[in-house]
């Protein structure tokens, strides 16, 4: 696929433009807000690939102020970014434009499109007000601690200042005369405000959006139906295109800059953050995503962390492992490499490509990324920070097996769901935990022992629930054995997924502090 990566606009957006040599039309793939965007990331990539196969260009992007884009406090950044993405396609020579929005992004796409554009909304909420109401209810049961801090409201995977809340709340579907398609779940209806929109029923939306990022499944049949419909809408005649002039470097501020890297034999997508004040022998921090999640939603804390560390004099690389974000080809039936050997190999390839001496290396990871960081025995980092660890297996999982287990739980039969009640009531919690985790071989001692014995300092930052799991799998014994070399930081009001602002703030502060302590001569500012 001919994908052009870089930054464009002011404030700059990170964009991925898929551009055939001649394009019949172009589609702006608007990213959903918060956790919906995390779950849908690879699905939108598959959709872009399918469109390119039909001679239709597309652009995917992080809105300014989100993900890997530049900071932007403007409350209308979502809609403005969608319109800018369309302008980018037009400058490349694309004449006909469609806006496509999945879930919450349907509202953004509808606000950005004109009557000269086509509009496709997929599983669209009734309105911005209705979407906020549902997200607030979900946050109430998913996010620990205060949901509003200094006036900023935290939902599931997105923080919204008051002005942006007002903008999102006001989003609806303007009356349209241009082509409008509402993609819905089987048996569902389009939002009433869309009036006479064409309705296209597709399967698989629930399997994509209604679970977690671990058990989400790319709906290949749905993507194929949508590609077919956009193929039918696009003009028959293609016009020549010109590759867009994208910035290869993002100047975050007058000291910090970023660039995109391709690393290792699989061309892993990564973003490197550096400071103009760094030495040539500055320490290097490798940041691992949680699970198979790109830096959208709650995990874009990595972007703030990387830029803060760079100001401290550290070189930072945040990377998508295979099957994550922009790395490796995307397939509808792709296997998740959660806790698999493939991700350990990716970590080794990244560290090898960076050519950094072990005494100047730190590896920081969340959840499955934490497990990877703790397994970096051959890489021999000076510091490992495990954020929200909850698995201490010694034997890697087979590709796809961890996600298949999660999907099996989500798709349990009526009988199995009925049996859960008495099972949870009568089987002791400790035994249930051991049964549920019988595939997680080893213990904290077995997991962390090899890196600690080689001189690596390890810091665990976790919620009370994850700390309790750490203790149950031998964490206290490990602390007694290695003393100050193994530190546990418990975040009382935190949550495993880092949805809560307090958890993210603590993680950023702890990582910066530990890196400064480990490499004291390199800390340039606080």
Q: Which of 92, 521, 42 lies closest to 321 in space, CA to CA?
A: 42
Closest among 50, 489, 388 to 230, alpha carbons compared: 50
Question: What is the overall mean pLDDT for the chain?
Answer: 91
- Segment (H or E) for 141: helix 128-142
pLDDT at 289: 92
With bands split at pLDDT 50, 70 and 90, how would you rate the model's confidence at 402? confident
pLDDT of residue 525: 45
Mean pLDDT for the stretch of residues 151-178: 95
Would you say residue 419 has pLDDT above 70? no
Residue 16 pLDDT grade (very low, low, confident, very high; cuts 50, 70, 90): very high
Any idea which of 140-144, 170-174, 309-313, 385-389 has the lowest mean pLDDT? 140-144
Average pLDDT rounded to a whole number, residues 289-306: 88
Phi and psi at residue 224, to the nearest 5°: -65, -40
Residue 185 has pLDDT above 70, yes or no: yes
- pTM of the entire structure? 0.92
Contact 361, 315 (CB under 8 A): no
Query: DSSP for 142-156?
Result: H--S-SEETTEEEET
Contact 271, 259 (CB under 8 A): yes
Angle at 249 between CA 256 and CA 383, to 5 degrees: 50
- pLDDT attached to residue 425: 54
Residues near 231 by beta carbon (within 8 Å), at least 6 away in sequence: 51, 54, 56
Q: Which pLDDT score is estimated for 438? A: 47
CA angle 232, 234, 240 (to 5 degrees): 140
- pLDDT at position 232 over 80: yes
Cβ atoms of 171 and 135 within 8 Å: the answer is: no
Q: Is 428 a residue whose pLDDT tops 70?
A: no
Q: What is the mean pLDDT of residues 226-235?
A: 98
User: Mean pLDDT throughout 266-287?
Assistant: 94
């Amino acid at each position: 696929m001919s994908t052009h990566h870089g930054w464009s606009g002011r404030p700059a957006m990170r964009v991925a433009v898929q551009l055939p040599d001649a394009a019949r039309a172009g589609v702006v793939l608007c990213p959903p807000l918060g956790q919906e965007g995390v779950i849908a990331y690879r699905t939108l990539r598959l959709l872009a690939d399918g469109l390119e196969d039909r001679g239709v260009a597309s652009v995917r992007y992080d809105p300014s102020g989100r993900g890997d884009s530049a900071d932007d406090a403007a409350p209308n950044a979502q809609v403005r970014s969608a319109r800018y993405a369309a302008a980018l396609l037009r400058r490349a020579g694309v004449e006909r434009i469609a806006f496509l929005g999945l879930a919450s992004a349907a509202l953004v796409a509808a606000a950005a499109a004109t009557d000269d554009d086509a509009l496709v909304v997929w599983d669209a909420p009734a309105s911005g007000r209705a979407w906020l109401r549902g997200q607030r209810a979900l946050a109430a049961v998913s996010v620990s601690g205060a949901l509003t801090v200094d006036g900023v409201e935290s939902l599931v995977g997105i923080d919204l200042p008051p002005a942006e809340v007002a903008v999102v709340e006001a989003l609806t579907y303007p009356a349209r005369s241009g082509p409008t398609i509402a993609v819905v779940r089987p048996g569902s209806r389009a939002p009433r405000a869309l009036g006479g929109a064409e309705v296209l029923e597709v399967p698989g939306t629930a399997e994509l959006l209604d679970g977690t990022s671990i058990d989400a499944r790319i709906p290949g049949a749905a993507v194929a139906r949508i590609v077919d419909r956009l193929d039918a809408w696009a003009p028959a005649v293609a016009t020549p295109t010109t590759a867009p002039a994208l910035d290869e470097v993002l100047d975050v501020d007058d000291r910090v800059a970023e660039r995109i890297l391709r690393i290792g034999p699989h061309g892993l997508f990564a973003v490197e953050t550096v400071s103009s004040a760094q030495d040539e022998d500055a320490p290097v921090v490798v940041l691992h995503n949680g699970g198979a999640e790109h830096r959208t939603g709650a995990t874009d804390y990595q972007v703030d962390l990387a830029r803060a560390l760079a100001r401290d004099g550290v070189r930072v690389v945040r990377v998508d492992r295979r099957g994550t974000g922009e790395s490796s080809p995307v397939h509808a039936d792709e296997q998740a490499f959660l806790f698999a050997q493939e991700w350990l190999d990716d970590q080794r390839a990244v560290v090898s490509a960076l050519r950094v001496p072990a005494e100047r290396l730190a590896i920081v990871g969340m959840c499955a990324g934490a497990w990877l960081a703790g397994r970096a025995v051959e890489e021999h980092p000076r510091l490992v920070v495990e954020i929200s660890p909850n698995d201490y297996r010694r034997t890697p999982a087979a590709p796809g097996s961890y996600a298949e287990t999660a999907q099996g739980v989500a798709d349990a039969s009526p009988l199995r769901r009925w049996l859960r009640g008495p099972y949870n009531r009568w089987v002791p919690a400790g035994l249930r935990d051991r049964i549920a985790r019988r595939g997680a071989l080893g213990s904290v001692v077995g997991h962390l022992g090899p890196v600690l014995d080689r001189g690596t300092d390890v810091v665990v930052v976790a919620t009370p629930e994850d700390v309790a799991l750490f203790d149950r799998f031998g964490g206290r014994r490990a602390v007694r054995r290695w003393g100050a070399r193994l530190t546990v930081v418990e975040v009382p009001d935190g949550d495993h997924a880092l949805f809560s602002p307090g958890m993210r703030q603590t993680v950023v502060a702890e990582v910066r502090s530990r890196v400064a302590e480990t490499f004291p001569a390199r800390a340039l500012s606080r």
